[in-house]
Structure 1
Amino acid sequence: MNRRSFFKWTGLGAVAALAGGFTARSAMAGNKYYSGPVSDHFDGKLFFNPGGEEPGGFFNLLRWKLNGKNIAWPDSFPSPFPQAVPETRVSGDRLVVTMVGHACMLMQVAGLNILTDPVWSERTSPVSFAGPKRVNPPGIRVGDLPPIDIVLVTHNHYDHLDLETLSVLQGRDKPRFVTPLGNDGIIRSRVPDARITVMDWGAREEMALGVSFHCEPCHHWSARGLGDRRMALWAAFVFETPAGKIYHIGDTGFHGGINYRAARQKHGGFRLANLPFGAYEPRWFMKAQHQNPDEAVEGMLLSNAAFVAGHHWGTFKLTDEGVEQPVEALHASLDSRGIGRERFQPMRPGQVFDVPAVAM
């Protein structure tokens, strides 16, 4: 059985992008998404994490999937919160986060409605019949969304860049899409008339009066298939608003806290950080790409975030840990450090977090 057949037969084709494809040598001769000058994170062909670690290739993926340590999830993991019907707009010093699921959140601040990594599809996969399937419905029905002004796509993995959802949002609201280098071509393959702002690490773009987005480093990578690994950039973002600063990370490895320290040094601190804390086992395979709950708590402290909306757990099974283990580990980490649990919210679909105002 060849590798492509193996992935299709086992359903692992859906997680090939998560796992890193096969090897760095499988990359195509050129970069099909982006061409630009060499930088401290682009070698002229591929993007990379400075001083970082590449994800494992095919044989590490095989070792992981055959390790026998996977903890099964229930077919359904319903949220305790009903599907939300958000306010049309939020203004003044209010900052409201409503959880849709996984890494998709509705951020309402300074009169803007911002969606992060929107996925309404049933599966996060290149195919509709296999791959990680959601175990709870989206926390907001598409029809109940307020008008969406900005759609942020942090990188191109299928659990963050869902072309079907982006097409629906374009037809509904024609929002401004914001994404790192190289992802614009992927989006335009399905949404040719999309209005896209493409950003590199260190860039700043004004989104509205008094609201700017900063594109910042995170330790991750990218791929949509077997031959495009690291051809598009991944990034974290800082939203600078009249109601305070928001630090948003879609996916990241902890990377010794380097990027958290840099964000604090550059931006001073945050009213809110949106931090991933799930999909982290086994550590030997996932450490470079997904931080665990204890690392996420450390990231909150290093970045000087007053509150955290925790995401990337409990909707799509991507890794070995049980469905509720991330929250158990999160609470243990917070309790051991004497940090109030209310400061780090493990968001569930439909949950609305009206973030308290803080003096920064």
Structure 2
Amino acid sequence: MFVIKIVVAVIVILGLAVYFVNLNIKSKVNPIEETTSAPYHNAKFYNTAPRIPMSFSDMAALWVRFFTEKKVDTTPDISIPLHTVSRTDLEVLSKDTLHLIKLGHSSILLKVYGEYWLIDPVFSDRASPFQFAGPKRFHQPPINLEDLPPIDKVLISHNHYDHLDKASIKVLQAKTQQFLVPKGVDGDLVNWGVEIHKITTFDWWQELQTNQGLVAFTPTQHFSGRGMGDGNATLWGAWVIKTPQESIFFSGDSGYFSGFKQTGEKYGPFDLTMIETGAYDEDWADIHMKPEESVQAHIDLQGKVMMPIHNGTFDLAFHTWHDPFDRVVAESERRNVTLSTPEFGRIVSINNLPPLTPWWNK
């Protein structure tokens, strides 16, 4: 078994090398100035708190761990509860509030006072540069891309494969009016066929006033990159959406840091925070929060209800697939935090969020 894993590892690494060498050169659509709100120099973005880079030996040890450590209970032994959604289901929703549907992992569909918005849409079977290898979905999306109504806005938090899906964007580009993306990600979208006039790029703390309210891009502690040589060439962050009546926060990916408190002070309180809770590990603790830190981030943001995301769809770490849910429930009870855990595909209203539903225990 060990030999087989090593052979598979070599094949995957060689395949990745071939793939990445042939990546399109990123289009310089909007040149990035040195005077960005996010730390930026030598054509790379940085976190406000400097990360300790992994040494070659650390990286090698992580690869060895990835291909040799026995994973336990990292994929579900139950059928993930899924509510299928039709276009008719969406069209009959009222236009006087904000509706929300968890599509899987961190993909969210919103109906914002009649407008359809998507956040980090990933509809592919795998969160990977390939569809023959890499993390495979535990469940199908509640609705097909082709069945979606015309989309007003697609919001992207960063360019990792489990948040920016090339195949999904290539389908969405024809039915989407506007793409809101971090600085540098516009190059990827243009290469994939999105018309430049549809794309708006964001720096940290940059705001956009829309017909339905305010959208702002706020800092996180993470990184970016889709291949060899493009590490941190594009920005990463979180999204704030404030309508006249509601206020929500979408974390993207992040380690725990003081920026959540800054965002809470500037834009809080939030009726709902959608916080990354999953794919954590001690080997990368500075870029992905443990569930206990996710709850603390919600408190820092002055959130009223927390919805854990970034879980239940892909195997991206070494912990059990249900560990994020088990730990976030325990910590929320300890900290007196209100959780909402709707099943994938369940349509919920921001004014009537369902209570904690432990569907992962079935």
| Superposed displacement of residue 100, structure 1 | 0.7
Alignment of 1:265-304 (within 5 A): 265-281=265-281, 283=282, 285-304=283-302
Q: Which deviates more from structure 2 when the two are superposed, residues 191-200 or residues 95-104?
A: 191-200
Q: For 2:134, which of 125, 131, 134 is the aligned residue?
A: 131
Paired residues, what number?
A: 332
What do residues 124-154 of structure 1 show as CA deviations (whole Å, max 9, x unaligned)? 1112211111111112222442331100111
**Could you say if the C-alpha distance between residues 141 and 36 of structure 1 is closer, same or farther in structure 2, counting changes exceeding 3 Å?**
same
Report the equivalent of 1:79: 80
Q: Which deviates more from structure 2 when the two are superposed, residues 122-131 or residues 31-40?
A: 31-40
| Superposed displacement of residue 279, structure 1 | 0.4
| Superposed displacement of residue 175, structure 1 | 2.8
Q: For 1:215, which of 212, 217, 221 is the aligned residue?
A: 217
AA of the residue aligned to 2:233: M
In structure 2, how many angstroms separate the alpha carbons of the residues matched to 1:155 and 1:220? 9
In structure 2, how many angstroms separate the alpha carbons of the residues matched to 1:129 and 1:228? 23
Query: Is 1:148 aligned with 2:143?
Result: no
Q: TM-score, normalised by structure 1?
A: 0.84
Alignment of 1:331-342 (within 5 A): 331-339=329-337
Q: For 1:37, which of 27, 34, 38 is the aligned residue?
A: 34
| Superposed displacement of residue 336, structure 1 | 1.7
What do residues 280-327 of structure 1 show as CA deviations (whole Å, max 9, x unaligned)? 02x2x2211111111111111111111122210111111101111110
**Could you say if the C-alpha distance between residues 75 and 310 of structure 1 is closer, same or farther in structure 2, counting changes exceeding 3 Å?**
closer
In structure 1, how many angstroms separate the alpha carbons of the residues matched to 2:48 and 2:242? 25
Alignment of 1:174-185 (within 5 A): 174-185=176-187
Q: Secondary structure at the match of 2:47?
A: coil
AA of the residue aligned to 1:53: R
Q: Does the 8 Å contact 2:150/2:176 carry over to 1?
A: no
Report the equivalent of 2:351: 356
What do residues 87-125 of structure 1 show as CA deviations (whole Å, max 9, x unaligned)? 225422x32210111110102222221111101111111
What do residues 30-87 of structure 1 show as CA deviations (whole Å, max 9, x unaligned)? 9978532244511141100012325636543432343426334337753223222342
Report the equivalent of 1:205: 208
What do residues 196-215 of structure 1 show as CA deviations (whole Å, max 9, x unaligned)? 0111111111222x412111
In structure 2, how many angstroms separate the alpha carbons of the residues matched to 1:143 and 1:104? 16
Report the equivalent of 1:321: 319
In structure 2, how many angstroms separate the alpha carbons of the residues matched to 1:250 and 1:320? 20
Q: Does the 8 Å contact 2:74/2:315 carry over to 1?
A: yes
Structure 2 unaligned residues grouped into runs of 5+: 1-5, 21-25, 354-362
Q: Secondary structure at the match of 1:66?
A: helix
**Could you say if the C-alpha distance between residues 167 and 324 of structure 1 is closer, same or farther in structure 2, counting changes exceeding 3 Å?**
same
Q: For 1:110, which of 109, 113, 116 is the aligned residue?
A: 113
Query: Is 1:99 aligned with 2:94?
Result: no
Q: Which deviates more from structure 2 when the two are superposed, residues 348-357 or residues 233-242?
A: 348-357
Report the equivalent of 2:23: none
| Superposed displacement of residue 235, structure 1 | 1.1
Q: Which deviates more from structure 2 when the two are superposed, residues 310-319 or residues 73-82?
A: 73-82
In structure 1, how many angstroms separate the alpha carbons of the residues matched to 2:116 and 2:77? 29
Higher relative contact order (CA 8 A, sep 6+): 1
In structure 1, how many angstroms separate the alpha carbons of the residues matched to 2:290 and 2:309? 12
Q: TM-score, normalised by structure 2?
A: 0.83
CA RMSD of aligned residues (A): 2.8
Q: Does the 8 Å contact 1:101/1:348 carry over to 2?
A: no
AA of the residue aligned to 1:279: A
Report the equivalent of 2:356: none
Q: For 1:245, which of 244, 247, 258 is the aligned residue?
A: 247
Report the equivalent of 1:344: 339
**Could you say if the C-alpha distance between residues 184 and 6 of structure 1 is closer, same or farther in structure 2, counting changes exceeding 3 Å?**
farther
Report the equivalent of 1:27: none
Percent identity between the aligned chains? Answer: 29
**Could you say if the C-alpha distance between residues 49 and 302 of structure 1 is closer, same or farther in structure 2, counting changes exceeding 3 Å?**
same
Q: Which deviates more from structure 2 when the two are superposed, residues 68-77 or residues 153-162?
A: 68-77
